[in-house]
A and B are shown apart, each in its own frame.
Chain A
Amino acid sequence: MDFEFSPEQELLRDNVERLMKDRYGFEARKTYQASPQGWSKSLWHDYAEMGLLGAPFAEADGGFGGGAVETMIVMEQSGKALALEPYLQTVVLCGALLKHGASEKQRTDLIGGIAAGELKLSFAHMEKQSGFDLNDVALSAVKDGNGGFVLNGEKTLVGQGDSADRLIVSGRVKGERRDRDGIGLFVVDANAPGVTRRGYPTQDGQRAAEIGFADVRVVSGGVLGSPDGALPIIERAIDETLAALAAEAVGAMSEALTMTVEYLKTRKQFGVTIGSFQALQHRAADMTVALEQARSMMYLAAMMVDEEDAAVRAKTMSAVKAQIGRSAKFIGQQAVQMHGGIAMTYEYKLGHLFKRLTMIDAAYGDADVHVRRLADGASLFA
């Protein structure tokens, strides 16, 4: 058992850390957020230059041969900076769908473009009725007789869906709306005829889109993997996304704790720094414990991403997401409380860390959802 990074991984961390320090001050973030796409094209270019966008892909597919640890490193630094670029959607989530679902030709066509920064993807999966149930897919995908499909339906809360170049869309090929079988994955040009997108800002400073599909044609080459058995691929990709979200959350939590401790050391009331008060010291200590527990789960997630047994992997990721959610809520709320009024202001970073942490808990099943899943299964230590 070895928790040390390799020299290459340390270099990657140092490089990303330096980039974020130089380019992602909170004032700079405001300007990125105010741009039409809601993030920085210039930084996206830098990510490509630094190899971040190809990091988790095999070299044969046009990537740099990294894995879960590299993703973890990038996401933790993104979390500290509250980075807005569509890394999670494009590289992690859609990247995982491509890694596990796409043909060699599809991978060659798409992954090189992702790594070069030329192609941004979003996963259009969730629907109004589906909540956290990945199997709940109503959007219809009907065979067109030429090996392709025609899509009709709506997708909701598609992360950075308004600035994506392509969409990976889940569709119901056969069966009932909540059947596990009968779900396909389709790659669609985001500007294809019949696709309508309505973008909007989200609570965490990012953007999402409502997307409609009206007789949208998918050619045969746009079908990812088995056209009616894609759910296991979706579940696997979401598991990888949970691991990355854990790292982003740990980055945001550690930043919130760092800012809080800094504040405790400088803010004076009653003639002393408020960090001299034991009530606040002990709460900061509890935040440290919560952060370390979350960080441990971040490592566990990175270790288990490549687990082939889907049930074992899902159980572990549920444990990870539950711990991350609990820690994120505690640290976020306490960081706001200990800062006092300043944390309530829109112009100060801390409140936005809290908001992102809150939205990470709510993504892909909050802590309670995952605890319930664990409660209905066998022991984590079985």
Chain B
Amino acid sequence: MDLRLTEDELAFRAEVCAFVRDSLPASIREKMVAGRRLSKDDYLRWTRILAAKGWGAPHWPQEWGGAGWSPVQLSIFLDETQRGNAPELVAFGVSMVGPVIYTFGSRAQKQRFLPRIIDLSDWWCQGFSEPGAGSDLASLRTSARSDTDGWVISGQKTWTTMAQYADWIFVLARTNTQAKKQEGISFFLVDMKTPGITVKPIQTIDGGHEVNEVFFDDVRAPADALVGEENKGWDYAKFLLANERNGIARVGVSKARLDRVRQLASIPIYGSGPKIEDPFFRAKLAEVEVELKALEMTQMRIVSNRRSAGKPDPASSVLKIKGSEIQQATTELLMEVVGPYALPYRESDDMSNEPPVGPDWAAPLAPVYFNNRKVSIYGGSNEIQRSIIAKAILGL
């Protein structure tokens, strides 16, 4: 047992840090630090910088453009890019549908889609949740019936993140209404330009537009839109959801946000002095740091576990629960730092020539706090994660 990073791992970490420092465009870094929203172009730009370096899909098999890193290296990469305030990779392609395609897809699907995921030539979105199928995803009702030259898909998806930018959507749809609900679902790849698809924005409590409703009105998809076998879609979906254990804890995101908390807490904006001089606040900050330090080790333990390498590990539910709780705690600290000047609401980041009310850094912080309530809801709510732990780890 040796829990220190090896010389090679230390050198790798230094390489990642230097790359982020030198290659991340300043305008993107500034938005990330401030907690402001990124544009589609920001994502495209950073993803293509990574792709040019060969780091666009580092966790993939090397045959399809992966970097051939160890799980520990991958953790270091995620941690340091996040701490360096780089945007996260847009997960829907590179972390969700990509692994499904290279694991279960046809040769033609792999060749067609995988290269275009890496540099975001195709922007993917996720067609899983429905108005009546959230935590109970298997009860979804969107249907796909086969006809002579392919499939006809009808129904509604919701909470579809960044569908307004997407070129393609991966869709779970019911292909057998007679079978047990998990056994009648198939997995489809659908072009967002197909007639019959309508995207409607959902504004979230922070005022932003990240998520959408996506309507399928007799959408025709070719026969090769099906991934793998018909009625096996639930297996692929479970694989997709459990596959993302590396990075689910977002340790680097929380570290970067704590850096920001300390930075802002040292600015005296009220007569009581800088927030960092309040011992009660510092104690809360220390509590979060302790949990984050432990989570960093928990993540390393789970990702470096050779016995479960390459397999979904229910321990990733531990990372999801604790990681989301810590992310939320960091945003609560931001709210405490800003104090009364959290109050003013701005319609959007770029519309106003009016001077900000209060410190110019204050406006995005309440939205960051409100927005982060999502992290314990999406990707399998924390209650679902607890049920996974109870069943799969404890055998209850």
Contacts and interface: CB of A to CB of B under 8 A. Distances in A.
Interface of A: 1-6, 9, 69, 261, 264-265, 275-276, 278, 280-282, 284-286, 288-289, 292-297, 299-300, 302-303, 319, 322-323, 326, 371-372, 374-376, 379-381
A208 B246 CA distance: 47
Contacts of A3: 1, 3, 300-301, 304-305
B364 to A, nearest CB: 22
B290 A319 contact: yes
B137 interface: no
Given A3-B305, A6-B1, A293-B322, A379 B293 contact: no
Contacts of A371: 283, 286-287, 290
Contacts of A289: 318, 321-322, 389
Contact of B395 (A1, A261, A293, A326): A261
Contacts of B395: 261, 265
B289 A281 contact: no
B386 A299 contact: no
Given A1-B4, A1-B300, A285-B387, A275 B305 contact: no
10 contacts: A280-B396, A281-B391, A285-B317, A285-B385, A293-B322, A300-B3, A300-B297, A371-B290, A380-B286, A381-B292
A261 B393 CA distance: 11
Interface string B316-332: 01100110000000000
A376 B278 CA distance: 10
B45 interface: no
Nearest to B73: A1
Given A296-B294, A297-B294, A375-B283, A2 B396 contact: no
B306 interface: yes
Interface string B378-396: 0000010111011101111
B315 interface: yes
A293 B390 CA distance: 17
A284 B317 CA distance: 13
A254 B6 CA distance: 30
B2 to A, nearest CB: 5
A5 B396 contact: no
A2 B279 contact: no
A55 to B, nearest CB: 15
Instruction: Pick the most buried of A69, A299, A371, A375: most chain B CB atoms within 10 A of its CB.
Output: A375
A263 B291 CA distance: 29
Contacts of A326: 290
B258 interface: yes
B322 A281 contact: no
B245 interface: no
Contacts of B242: none
A328 to B, nearest CB: 13
A371 B385 CA distance: 29
Contact of A297 (B258, B289, B297, B393): B297
B315 A275 contact: no
B390 to A, nearest CB: 4
A6 B2 CA distance: 10
B94 to A, nearest CB: 24
A2 B394 contact: no
Instruction: Pick the most buried of B291, B292, B293, B391: most chain A CB atoms within 10 A of its CB.
Output: B293
Nearest to B3: A303
Contacts of A285: 317, 321, 385-387, 389-390, 393-394
Contacts of B391: 281
Contacts of B296: 296
Contacts of A294: 294
Given A265-B395, A289-B318, A376-B282, A4 B306 contact: yes
B285 A1 contact: no
A280 B255 CA distance: 32
Contacts of A281: 386-387, 390-391, 394, 396
B318 A379 contact: no
Contact of B289 (A372, A376, A379): A379
B387 A288 contact: no
Contacts of B305: 3
A275 B396 contact: yes
A282 B321 CA distance: 12
A42 B383 CA distance: 48
B282 to A, nearest CB: 4
Contacts of B223: none
B257 to A, nearest CB: 11
Given A1-B9, A265-B396, A319 B304 contact: no
Instruction: Pick the most buried of A5, A261, A288: most chain B CB atoms within 10 A of its CB.
Output: A288
A322 B390 contact: no
Across chains A and B, which 10 residue pairs bring their CB atoms closest together, nearest first? A296-B297, A281-B390, A285-B386, A375-B282, A285-B389, A374-B286, A303-B3, A293-B294, A282-B386, A375-B286
